[in-house]
A and B are shown apart, each in its own frame.
Chain A
């Protein structure tokens, strides 16, 4: 081993300033990588260090970090990238969004571990990265096209089908607060308004093509370790129940499972049981529409189920639904028809919208209409009845174009509820300003707890137990698919990190590192104005309105139980009773640099 290979590997990032169009390659301090691994963890660290307190998420100086992890492009299923930024949907929390497919590995093969985006271009641009060649190109002709069209047009323009393209759609351009960034047509980094940040920077797309090998510390060791993981995953296709489920049905099959448990969003969280589940569930999709499976990079499971709408008014449209993109749109808006539900989910992908937030907001508007809070006039004549697909599409066009009622809804459910008034805030199911995803907290208390405590706002990607949270934050930082957590022993990742990065790392670091990453995000939120005690809460409906149907009929998530659960979690995570990390604990896990901010915050609390 010589030269580069003798030392531990560092991270090589592209720093792109869209204001003055400068491009630089920078290396991060190696202790950051060692302590925060990559992806989500490292993104949080950079956000803390590189951005000013209380900055506007859509201002030119706001930054976005698109980061891979040490295992991206190396192991099967190591395909993900984590986009970290300040969330434009909440305005005062961290936002991160994860997407798989092939883009991350391609960036790795181009020789970069991540991209820092900052500044703001006056004219629309897109970024072209081909190995050492990095160019900011004009995107005037792409502005206004859907994410699908953009990907195709860029591949044609660059005359290479192998480019992997991340792109925003019209929703991101028009600064809809929950716009997403899409790739490979159906894959999106959707949550928290990632596409909005791009739209504000005038960035339409990033196209990447890499033709180099991955740099590693100990190549024979890596090849051996990844070979073992590959063997394990190959055998999991058939001998692990979760593995087989993903291979056979993908994850939209879990619509039915969660419905059986009485926790599937129904009619804007009024119920946890959807009676029409057999008409829209994963089993019917498998029988009627399924065409073929697709995978992220290297993954032998292939959980994305590509399909074709074969009947109804949307016949002939290609679709690829999963649980998160359909739960809020289908049962959440009471759509009883599979073709409409999966097409609507595709429509959101095309236009570059987060299907989860969009479904939630649509359900909210429908309930407002049902209860007379929104009149036909308020809705510009759209008859927004439960399950009315034509009305939904009409409303969504208005959201994307920011017209009339669409302009109000495009700012997120929290803002919309305030703007509409008249008791609408009781129907807005959000936490910290981010819309609830597919579970009803009354039907699953654990899900409810994680909605409240999660740093980026409600999501079931945060994890409900300490163990699950640690696994998930590790997965997003390594980066690997978070579904591997049920299939793969963490020791395998440690062996891989030893060989890929040359680190002397033991499994004992697992919990400490995870806690460091999670509490840093919590400290960041506090710095930006979140008051944990007041903001780690659930909407009132969760505590007071019992479900009436299904297995969990009659149940609520009582406020006292929620407060007790939250307190227990605070204690387990080393926080005090108000949800603020304890000073001595911050020191223990290597977050001493956050202490001044935390001290200032607690002093501010006691003095008021």
Chain B
């Protein structure tokens, strides 16, 4: 089993170096939009929330992928969700969003050209994004407890907690 990407959200400065590193590693292009990790700007500040697949052990996205398609599969060995590009309905021009809708953290993004969903595969245990992260908001956590599903939350939910954490209050103006 691989570890998990651990994010200390209060440390993230929103520079998107992780996106660039990911795109270089996975697409061999300077193409942040095609990265498996995606920094969202939320609310006042703005707060920067890096979002990527959390590799939930119950993988609701794989369950949600239509029965006759089954483009997504879960690899129990590593914990990674894999995509079969040919099977995916989106490559055939359909606007299927079943995996996105199933994801508890609404974390799935789609490739800007190939259309397929993008899942973080942790670079086989050496995540490129972690190496590129200056403020060390990203780290690679090998603690097996860390895969806990409740850590897969949406950027908005995370931002709500983060607001209290960094600003010391819920209501900011």
| Chain A residue nearest to B155 in the complex (CB) | A161
Residues of A with C-beta under 8 A to B135: 247, 293, 295, 300, 302
Nearest-neighbour CB distance to chain A for B134, whole angstroms, equals: 2
When the two chains form their complex, are residues B46 and A185 in contact, meaning their CB atoms are under 8 A apart?
yes
Residues of B with C-beta under 8 A to A76: 15, 17
CA distance A219 to B29 in the complex (A): 8
When the two chains form their complex, are residues B24 and A294 in contact, meaning their CB atoms are under 8 A apart?
no
When the two chains form their complex, are residues A294 and B172 in contact, meaning their CB atoms are under 8 A apart?
no
CA distance A465 to B7 in the complex (A): 43
Q: B10, B33, B45: which contacts A109 (Cβ < 8 A)?
A: B33
When the two chains form their complex, are residues B169 and A73 in contact, meaning their CB atoms are under 8 A apart?
no
Residues of A with C-beta under 8 A to B161: none
Q: A219, A233, A296, A299: which contacts B28 (Cβ < 8 A)?
A: A219
Q: Is the CB of B142 closer than 8 A to any CB of chain A?
A: no
When the two chains form their complex, are residues A214 and B30 in contact, meaning their CB atoms are under 8 A apart?
yes
CA distance A219 to B64 in the complex (A): 38
Q: Which of B33-85 contact A (CB under 8 A)?
A: 33-34, 40-42, 44-48
CA distance A296 to B48 in the complex (A): 12
Q: Is the CB of A298 closer than 8 A to any CB of chain B?
A: yes
Q: Is the CB of A494 closer than 8 A to any CB of chain B?
A: no
When the two chains form their complex, are residues A292 and B10 in contact, meaning their CB atoms are under 8 A apart?
yes
Q: Is the CB of A318 closer than 8 A to any CB of chain B?
A: yes
Q: Is the CB of A30 closer than 8 A to any CB of chain B?
A: no
Q: A291, A292, A298: which contacts B16 (Cβ < 8 A)?
A: A298
| Chain A residue nearest to B9 in the complex (CB) | A292
Q: Which of B135-173 contact A (CB under 8 A)?
A: 135, 166-169, 171-173
Q: Which of A142-166 contact B (CB under 8 A)?
A: 148, 161-162
Residues of B with C-beta under 8 A to A219: 28-30
When the two chains form their complex, are residues A294 and B45 in contact, meaning their CB atoms are under 8 A apart?
yes
Number of interface residues of B (CB under 8 A): 38
CA distance A230 to B171 in the complex (A): 37
Nearest-neighbour CB distance to chain A for B105, whole angstroms, equals: 15
Q: B20, B27, B168: which contacts A308 (Cβ < 8 A)?
A: B168
Q: B13, B31, B33: which contacts A295 (Cβ < 8 A)?
A: B13
Nearest-neighbour CB distance to chain B for A184, whole angstroms, equals: 6
Q: A223, A293, A304, A318: which contacts B24 (Cβ < 8 A)?
A: A223
Q: Is the CB of A239 closer than 8 A to any CB of chain B?
A: no
Q: Is the CB of B125 closer than 8 A to any CB of chain A?
A: no
When the two chains form their complex, are residues B45 and A306 in contact, meaning their CB atoms are under 8 A apart?
yes
Q: B11, B133, B173: which contacts A318 (Cβ < 8 A)?
A: B173
Q: Mark A270-306, 1 if CB is under 8 A from B, else 0.
A: 0000000000000000000001111111111110101
When the two chains form their complex, are residues A318 and B172 in contact, meaning their CB atoms are under 8 A apart?
yes
Residues of A with C-beta under 8 A to B133: 300
Given contacts A185-B44, A298-B17, whether A292 and B29 have CB atoms under 8 Å apart is: no
Q: B15, B23, B28, B173: which contacts A317 (Cβ < 8 A)?
A: B173
Q: A73, A162, A185: which contacts B45 (Cβ < 8 A)?
A: A185
Given contacts A161-B41, A233-B134, A318-B172, whether A211 and B167 have CB atoms under 8 Å apart is: no
Interface centre among B10, B40, B45, B133 (most CB of A within 10 A): B45
Q: Which of A70-101 contact B (CB under 8 A)?
A: 73-74, 76
Residues of A with C-beta under 8 A to B117: none
Nearest-neighbour CB distance to chain A for B73, whole angstroms, equals: 27
When the two chains form their complex, are residues B29 and A295 in contact, meaning their CB atoms are under 8 A apart?
no
Residues of A with C-beta under 8 A to B28: 219, 223
Nearest-neighbour CB distance to chain A for B165, whole angstroms, equals: 9
When the two chains form their complex, are residues A293 and B13 in contact, meaning their CB atoms are under 8 A apart?
yes
CA distance A297 to B41 in the complex (A): 13
| Chain B residue nearest to A109 in the complex (CB) | B33
Residues of A with C-beta under 8 A to B20: 298
Q: Is the CB of B32 closer than 8 A to any CB of chain A?
A: yes
| Chain B residue nearest to A220 in the complex (CB) | B28
When the two chains form their complex, are residues A297 and B15 in contact, meaning their CB atoms are under 8 A apart?
yes
When the two chains form their complex, are residues A308 and B172 in contact, meaning their CB atoms are under 8 A apart?
yes
When the two chains form their complex, are residues B134 and A237 in contact, meaning their CB atoms are under 8 A apart?
yes
Residues of A with C-beta under 8 A to B17: 76, 230, 298-300
Given contacts A308-B167, A308-B169, whether A299 and B15 have CB atoms under 8 Å apart is: yes
CA distance A230 to B128 in the complex (A): 13
What are 6 A-B interface contacts by the 8 Å CB criterion? A102-B14, A162-B40, A291-B167, A292-B10, A292-B166, A308-B166
Interface residues of B (CB under 8 A from A): 10-11, 13-17, 20, 23-24, 27-34, 40-42, 44-48, 112, 132-135, 166-169, 171-173
Interface residues of A (CB under 8 A from B): 73-74, 76, 102, 105, 109, 148, 161-162, 184-185, 210-214, 216, 219, 222-223, 230, 233-234, 237, 247, 291-302, 304, 306, 308, 310, 316-318
